[in-house]
Amino acid sequence: MDAPVIQTQAVVVGAGPVGLFQAFQLGLQEVDTHLVDALPHAGGQCAELYPDKPIYDIPGLPVCTGQELTERLLAQIAPFRQPLHLGQQVLSLGRLPDGRFALRTSAGTAFVTQTVFIAAGVGAFVPRKPPLPGLEALEGRQVHYHGPGAAALTGQHVVVMGGEDAALQTLLDLLSAGTCASLTLLHRTDKFKADPALDAAVRTALATGQVRLVPGQPVGLELTQDGRLAALQVATLADTTDHLPLDALLPRLGLSPKLGPLADWGLALERKLLPVATDTFSTAETGVFAVGDINTYPGKRKLILCGFHEATLAAFAAAAIVHPERRVLLQYTTTSPRLHELLGVAGAVPG
């Protein structure tokens, strides 16, 4: 049975830094908000592409890493308790006859909302998949692009695929957890493109026999009669086809940003970006806003602080749609008792 449709006032598509700050600004405007991201965690490019690298141009924060900024933004929105729907891509967006919008995600989550905020950055970060016919049917059961964690793989023969940081890190995490029956690394060569420390740790595990390396490319799946994945057929460097039995396959081939479904939502795109008005950050479709790296306007700069400004004005514009009966006033977080209440700091003694 399908899950019930979530009725809300705003859906933010993308939980990168700008999507997170968008949620904060919507919280201040008392707009009920849900966030969705294709990744299993928040933070967008900051968390995915440069979690440990320093950022120096966030106002008031002389230096912080991509991960730290993500954690601070999550802490900032915590008072609003806005549901975060992770690991699911928004696939469709359409307007309903009553003027609201219907959205559906790859996990089957359905929303009906008054406003939509597209904070999709460079597109949804989706895992690169090995081109093996039939693999999709095994996703979430024996094929996992994220997780599923060492406990879920207890007693299993696990094959990790890839030769970059993510693959090596997954392998080492599983090795240190010690729950798997066996661990195999499947990579097209015996050379890795990874951090030297990870490379060295994996080489040690290979030398001591804790992990096996199979250099080659998977070319086919061997299924049992009841549709379970029993083995991979692997084309080896020696031009033979090997049979690699397994219980679980963890492809870690990196992520690629996919604009994907957004291009089919009927919104006017300009070189894969959404043109917006700079007073509201609304697209040409009333009620649909675009903020952060996904939008374009004269003078646009793809910087986090520009996205924060855009999100602030977009939230004011959304409040006028969601609460037409109210005058949208400018209130300061420093002095407004109502904002203090919303932020859960009413009565707090300033330190």
Ligand X SMILES: Cc1cc2nc3c(=O)[nH]c(=O)nc-3n(C[C@H](O)[C@H](O)[C@H](O)COP(=O)(O)OP(=O)(O)OC[C@H]3O[C@@H](n4cnc5c(N)ncnc54)[C@H](O)[C@@H]3O)c2cc1C
Binding site for ligand X (CB under 6 A): 13-19, 36-39, 44-46, 49-50, 55, 57, 89-90, 119-125, 261-262, 292-293, 302-305, 307
Handedness of CA 229, 164, 73, 259 (dihedral sign): negative
**Closest to ligand X by CB, 80 or 111:** 111
Residue nearest to ligand X (CB): 121
Question: What one-character-per-residue DSSP string does 274-329 give?
Answer: EE--TTT-B-SSTTEEE-GGGEE-TT----HHHHHHHHHHHHHHHHHHH-TTS---
Considering the complex, what minimum distance in angstroms separates the CB of residue 229 from ligand X?
27
Read off the amino acid at residue 291.
V
Nearest to ligand X of 124, 132 (CB atom): 124
CB–CB of 112/101 below 8 Å?
yes
| Amino acid, single-letter form, for residue 36 | V
Peptide linkage before 148 cis (omega within 30 of 0): yes
The nearest distance, CB 8 to ligand X, in angstroms, is: 16
The CA–CA distances, whole Å, from 319 to 2, 114, 261, 311, 327 equal 31, 10, 27, 12, 9
Q: With respect to ligand X, which residue has the nearer C-beta, 92 or 204?
A: 92
Report the SS3 class of residue 230. Answer: strand
Using alpha carbons, select from 182, 130, 112 the residue that is nearest to residue 153: 182
Quick one: 120 or 276, whose CB is closer to ligand X? 120
Sign, Cα dihedral of 211, 213, 214, 216: positive
Minimum gap (Å) between residue 301 Cβ and ligand X = 8
Least distance from C-beta 237 to ligand X, angstroms?
A: 33
**Which of residues 44 and 218 has its CB atom nearest to ligand X in the complex?**
44
**HSE toward the beta carbon, residue 51, CA cutoff 13 A:** 9
**Contact in structure between 192 and 164 (CB atoms under 8 Å):** yes
Min separation Cβ 130 and ligand X, Å: 21
Q: Which is nearer to ligand X, 45 or 184 (CB)?
A: 45
Phi, psi of 116 (to 5 degrees): -130, 135
Taking the least distance from each CB to ligand X, the nearer of 61 and 237 is 61
Q: How far is the CB of 296 from ligand X (least distance, A)?
A: 12
In angstroms, give the least distance from the CB of 309 to ligand X. 12
